[in-house]
Amino acid sequence: MISAPLDFLGINYYTPSVVRDAPYRDADPFSRMADDNRFDGVGMPEARHTAMDWPVAPHTQHELLVGPRERYGNALPPVHITENGSAEHDVLTSDGAVHDAERISYLDGHLRSVAAAIADGVDVRGYYVWSLLDNFEWAYGYSKRFGLVYVDYATQRRVPKDSFHWYRALIAAQS
């Protein structure tokens, strides 16, 4: 069953991670983690960082998409970016809006990298922003906001952020 052809390849992409062959930090094999050999954002001190302290480097998403295409050619199934987004320091302002220009810049850069990968022959069939709503982030609870819509957790009021309006306009322009 595992050898069945794939319908598509789903990629969750937020930030680059460099993995290297290195000794584990923990000598106890039962305490080791995959993160022992992972170094996020290595060599990118000049990059803007999100609220998760992740470097923003859209070109690395392009490299991730083009690399398998170059390696596997037509054997690579269609690709979907199943998650892509950024946590930012979102604040509901006195004008009743959330001005998240950093998220717009992040999404714009990453969508451009997808477009460049398509131009380079990668069969990208879908792109999904993470997330529509601010939500519970598994490692940080409600302290990190990824959504295009701000959620006031105390009242459950929802406020579309500037990125929501930008993304909606971008989609409408493609129709």
pLDDT in tens, 102-125: 999 999 999 999 999 999 999 999
* CB-based contact 65:111 (threshold 8 Å): no
Model confidence at 172, pLDDT cuts 50, 70, 90, reads: very high
* CB-based contact 137:81 (threshold 8 Å): no
The whole-number pLDDT of residue 73 equals 86
Is 4 among the domain residues?
no
Using alpha carbons only, give the angle 142, 170, 115 rounded to the nearest 5 degrees. 95
Q: How many domains does the chain have?
A: 1
Is 1 among the domain residues?
no
Whether the CA torsion 144, 46, 35, 79 is positive or negative: it is positive
* Identity of the amino acid at 147: G
* CB-based contact 56:86 (threshold 8 Å): yes
The whole-number pLDDT of residue 31 equals 63
Domain boundaries, position 14: 9-174
Is 168 among the domain residues?
yes
Residue 84, both tokens: 């892509």
48-100, pLDDT tens digit by residue?
Answer: 999 998 999 999 999 999 999 899 888 899 999 999 999 999 999 999 999 99
pTM for the full predicted model: 0.89
18-48, pLDDT tens digit by residue?
Answer: 766 656 666 676 665 655 555 555 667 889 9
* CATH code for position 88: 3.20.20.80
Q: What is the DSSP string of 106-125?
A: HHHHHHHHHHHHHHTT--EE
CB-based burial of residue 1 (10 Å sphere; 0-12 exposed, 13-18 middle, 19+ buried)?
Answer: exposed
